[in-house]
Structure 1
Amino acid sequence: MSVLPQPGPPRVLALAQLINSCGDGAFYVTSALYFTRVVGLSATEAGFGLTAGWAAGFLASVPLGALADRRGPKATAVALALGTAAAVGAFVFISSFAAFVLAACVYASMQCGLAAARQALLAALVDQAERTRTRARLQSSTNAGLAVGASLGGLALYADTRPAYLAVFAVDVAGFVVAALLLRRLPPTPPAPARTAGEPRLAVLRDRPYALVSLLNLVMQLHIPMIGLAIPLWIVERTAAPGWTVSGLLVLNTVSVVLFQVRVARRVKDLTSASRTIRYAGVLLLASCAVFAFSTTGGPWTAALILLGAAALQALGEMMQASGAWEISFALAPDGRHGQYQGFFGSGFAVARMIGPLVLTTLVLSGGTLGWLVLGGAFLTAGLAMGPAVRWAAANRPLEADRAQVLVTARR
């Protein structure tokens, strides 16, 4: 099955994401070792710099998203893609901790702003009924690219030389430049209409129902550092599973999203089905946490099978959460303000990257089984609360057909 959508703007968007995610995948698996082994930063300095970077990305998401509204999402996305390429290139020249922190802040800000502009671009070019399915195609493309990039990064790790790491950075820079060139091929997207009298410059910051929905989505997004950090550490430190299980679970997650994300997203057609899908996602993520907690029992092969089962539940929960979140974020954002609204909603990713490692390692590695259950309970609570939060948000917006349906079927 092709991960690319039908010809036209959706395919161009998917190609752009596929290409630059190849570079990102290589960058993600090699950057930590480059910063510590080549630049000479300590692990603490590298961790602090990346945390500061994602904090800056969180703060920049809404202003850069609003810029996409004012200047047009296409022009803004192209500029931010080139800005991200420049930020990645700047890492090659850093030689001090201060320079690293500055470069990390610019890099994360460009990445978060680019994500918001791309979402606004999708909203401008794709009919509302097709946005979630198109976004699922983009996610499949992204994961496919990350998998290819991670393989390239693995070659650099095997070589473990400065030229090999620099080659990875060059690939990432090239990926963003090519993505910018592809985005330039898209149809024009004019700026949003000027603000009405009395409308705040960043209206999303005063939209409390949307803020609540975004907060609940942030809690659900803790599954991102869970699969990338907490689970590998748990496997190594607390289970008898063989070492290959760590990479096996990551491959399972990536392949699942590439193959099945679009199918899962087909079930999401409106705010009602989106809320229901996120509720089911909370149940699945709770179940996966409970199974992960049980993986300390048995020998190597028993533990590996338990972990694979837990990872399968986690992957399905992740795909359901993402599908529902995309529909909600688009449907509740006012026309002409998708940049700032998507920037705010998407900033949860930056926060999850920023606080997730500390929160999850503390819960899982220190709390053990109880920690896993607390984490699963947080997923379940957020999933159950999403429906009422969406109804509150829908009630504070014009009653278009989809939003009216949410209010009528409030208890479905």
Structure 2
Amino acid sequence: MPNMLPPSRPQRTLAVAQLSNSLGDGAYYVTSALYFTHVVGLAPARIGLGLTVAWAVGSVVGVPLGRIADRRGPRGTAVLLALATGAAVASFLVVRDFLPFLVAACLYATAQSGLAAARQALLAGLVAEEERTAVLAHLQSTLNAGLAVGAALGGLALSAGSRPAYLGVFAIDALSFLLCALVLLRVPAVAPAPAVRGARLEVLRDRPYAVITLLNTVLLLRMPLLSLGLPLWITECTDAPEWLVSALFMLNTGAVMLFQVRTARSVTGLATAARAIRRSGAFALTACGVFALSAGSPPRVAVTALVGGSVLLAAAEMLQSAGSWQLGFGLAPAGRIGEYQGFFGSGVTVARTLGPLLLTALLVGMGALGWLLLGGLFLVASYALGPVARWAAGTRQEPAPVSVV
């Protein structure tokens, strides 16, 4: 699948780094919950509490870590944070109680959040502004390919069900971040950004950018929707077979892997980004309406509705991703890319932290009406992003040359 790889060598090296740790992450994602309950012996409620606290810490610390990447150089910062993430994963191997688990989880979430911001700053230094969305699409395809393969490895560990199998998965994930750090050392160094006048964390005072981040966080609720909302809906509210949960995950991963690059080609500036996000909101609303039809339907009808809704949701995800990348980078001032991306990336953390509570209340608690309310929320947020992006562009010292419509 050559379409997954970016054209130039530095960009391909970034893709290899992305692939290396996504393989380990894919295995980690499908086994971590059972590892912490069956091997470590923690109660599910304590695991949920620990991860919520950890990701809350990570979302806050990601901004100053992004600032460090701007000032000290993104490549060296990314390498150190990749090593810190690997060390955090390795520490899970010796965790036997809640407090050490909480400390390790906070280190993991902090390093992951900072690594994401540093990588974005590194990409900004290596790729021309007009090419960033296309390159990010390639990286997203690579990410999904790695997650899919990693999830398959995790599935083997789940089938074995033994302590050594689980420990092997965590060891692979830790080593994958070590490999990521080594690969990042092969990327050309990017000079630290010169000092910029203003507050030390200017992004916290940038109200238009904060509103964009908030609206984008609403759209990112599609992430826990795929990993938690749909599985709960399928098992609790429909007569569809449980194996459909994994099938829909594979469908989403494969679609993004194959079509994200093609989808992102239409996004070339702030105007096209706003248009893509509006289309994503329409697709998301339609997907939610189709998902709602699966309740109380015969199994064959339910499966058809769930598959159709998942196709629409994948289209919404690819459009929203491409548009949000353009807005997140295009509205960040030069010299503050890491800082701003650290803040923008906190939306992922917030969506994953608060999303499960909201989705459970809407979907399991309200049924079909909850799906329609969720779809309406997606649509409103997607249409609001255009005017807010126009507001943000007008507050820049050097407004984007393309108007937002």
> Which category of TM-score, normalised to the shorter sequence, fits these structures?
over 0.9
Question: Given the alignment, which residue of 394, 402, 406 partners 2:403?
Answer: 406
The residue type equivalent to 1:210 in the other structure is Y
Secondary structure of the structure 2 residue equivalent to 1:185: coil
**What residue is the counterpart of 1:267 in the other structure?**
266
| Deviation for aligned residue 1:405 | 2.3
Secondary structure of the structure 1 residue equivalent to 2:190: coil
Secondary structure of the structure 2 residue equivalent to 1:296: coil
| Deviation for aligned residue 1:9 | 1.1
| Deviation for aligned residue 1:399 | 3.7
1:181-232 per-position Cα deviation (integer Å, ceiling 9, x unaligned)? 1101111111111233xx1100100000000111100000000000110001
The residue type equivalent to 2:330 in the other structure is A
| Contact kept? 2:125, 2:190, Cα under 8 Å | yes
Secondary structure of the structure 2 residue equivalent to 1:242: coil
Quick one: distance in 2 between partners of 1:177 and 1:4? 22
Identity of aligned residues (%): 56
TM-score by length of 1: 0.97
| Deviation for aligned residue 1:378 | 0.7
**Structure-to-structure mapping, 1:1-400, within 5 angstroms:** 1-2=1-2, 3-196=4-197, 199-400=198-399
The residue type equivalent to 1:47 in the other structure is G
Secondary structure of the structure 2 residue equivalent to 1:406: coil
The residue type equivalent to 2:15 in the other structure is A
| Contact kept? 2:5, 2:12, Cα under 8 Å | yes
The residue type equivalent to 1:365 in the other structure is V
| Contact kept? 2:63, 2:339, Cα under 8 Å | yes
Which deviates the most, 293-302 or 15-24?
293-302
CA RMSD of aligned residues (A): 0.9
Quick one: distance in 2 between partners of 1:61 and 1:188? 21
Which consecutive residues of structure 2, in runs of 5 or more, have no partner in the other structure?
none
| Deviation for aligned residue 1:242 | 1.6
Quick one: distance in 1 between partners of 2:69 and 2:351? 24
| Contact kept? 2:195, 2:335, Cα under 8 Å | no
| Deviation for aligned residue 1:348 | 0.3
The residue type equivalent to 1:405 in the other structure is V
1:132-164 per-position Cα deviation (integer Å, ceiling 9, x unaligned)? 000000000000000000000001011111111
The residue type equivalent to 1:168 in the other structure is V
The residue type equivalent to 1:7 in the other structure is S
The residue type equivalent to 1:157 in the other structure is L
| Contact kept? 2:157, 2:165, Cα under 8 Å | yes
The residue type equivalent to 1:318 in the other structure is E
| Contact kept? 2:276, 2:320, Cα under 8 Å | yes
| Contact kept? 2:196, 2:335, Cα under 8 Å | no
Quick one: distance in 2 between partners of 1:245 and 1:156? 20
1:41-98 per-position Cα deviation (integer Å, ceiling 9, x unaligned)? 0010111111111111111110111110111110100000000000000111111111
Secondary structure of the structure 1 residue equivalent to 2:294: helix
Quick one: distance in 2 between partners of 1:6 and 1:20? 21
The residue type equivalent to 1:95 in the other structure is R
The residue type equivalent to 2:363 in the other structure is V
The residue type equivalent to 1:78 in the other structure is V
The residue type equivalent to 1:94 in the other structure is V
Quick one: distance in 2 between partners of 1:188 and 1:19? 20
Quick one: distance in 1 between partners of 2:279 and 2:250? 24
Secondary structure of the structure 1 residue equivalent to 2:293: helix
1:283-302 per-position Cα deviation (integer Å, ceiling 9, x unaligned)? 11011111111111421111
| Deviation for aligned residue 1:404 | 3.3
| Deviation for aligned residue 1:7 | 3.4
Quick one: distance in 1 between partners of 2:397 and 2:280? 28
| Deviation for aligned residue 1:406 | 1.2
The residue type equivalent to 2:378 in the other structure is F
